């Protein structure tokens, strides 16, 4: 239960910060939790009140946070190789993150936008994965050095 709550808070926090930054930069001082020019945002703003749109965004951000939190548990499998964990983690996060990001109104529902999203996701994933791998290798070497002394 604590993991779910932590994931929800993390997702809401990141989603809120991103929405504030994008609203500040692109909306001329107005706040939009979802881009009104995205497919989902245009639909939600037409159908619901602003408060309801914010609630939908909060639910999406919560689910994204929960998903990433639980997907991180994949790297705790002690009997899997790093490549197995990476492939399963990558597929898990992209398969739930892609539809939730569409519903969150982060980009329009067009093939070009989805392909751009996937490309950016792969690049960002590779950067974060490489950084975390380097940090873990450094930690392992540090532990091994202490053990050998």
Give the phi and the psi of residue 142 in degrees, each rounded to 5: -65, -45
Question: What residues contact residue 124 under an 8 Å CB cut-off, 6+ apart?
Answer: none
From the first residue on, what is the mean pLDDT of each consecutive set of 10 residues in the chain (149 residues)?
A: 92 94 87 90 94 95 94 90 93 93 87 93 95 93 90
Centre a 10 Å sphere on the Cβ of residue 62 and count the other Cβ atoms it contains. 20
Q: Extract the tokens encoding 21.
A: 């930054």
* Domain span holding position 117: 2-148
> Would you say 55 and 6 are in contact if contact means Cβ atoms under 8 Å apart?
no
Distance between CA atoms of residues 40 and 102, nearest Å? 7
DSSP 8-state class, residue 134: H
- pTM: predicted TM-score of the whole model, two decimal places: 0.84
Which of helix, strand or coil describes residue 114? helix
Centre a 10 Å sphere on the Cβ of residue 104 and count the other Cβ atoms it contains. 27
Q: Extract the tokens encoding 14.
A: 């990141």
What total of structural domains would you count in the chain?
1
Task: Write down the pLDDT at residue 37.
Answer: 87
Task: Write down the pLDDT at residue 105.
Answer: 87
């Amino acid at each position: 239960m604590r993991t779910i709550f932590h994931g929800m808070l993390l997702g809401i926090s990141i989603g809120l910060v991103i929405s504030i930054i994008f609203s500040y930069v692109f909306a001329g001082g107005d706040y939009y939790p979802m881009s009104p020019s995205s497919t989902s945002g245009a639909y939600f703003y037409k159908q619901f009140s602003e408060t309801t749109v914010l609630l939908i965004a909060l639910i999406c951000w919560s689910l994204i946070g929960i998903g990433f939190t639980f997907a991180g548990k994949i790297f705790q499998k002690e009997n899997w190789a790093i490549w197995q964990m990476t492939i399963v983690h990558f597929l898990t996060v992209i398969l739930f993150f892609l539809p939730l990001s569409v519903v969150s109104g982060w980009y329009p529902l067009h093939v070009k936008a989805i392909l751009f999203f996937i490309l950016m996701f792969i690049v960002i994933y590779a950067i974060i994965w490489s950084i975390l791998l380097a940090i873990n290798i450094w930690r392992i070497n540090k532990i091994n050095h202490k053990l050998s002394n």
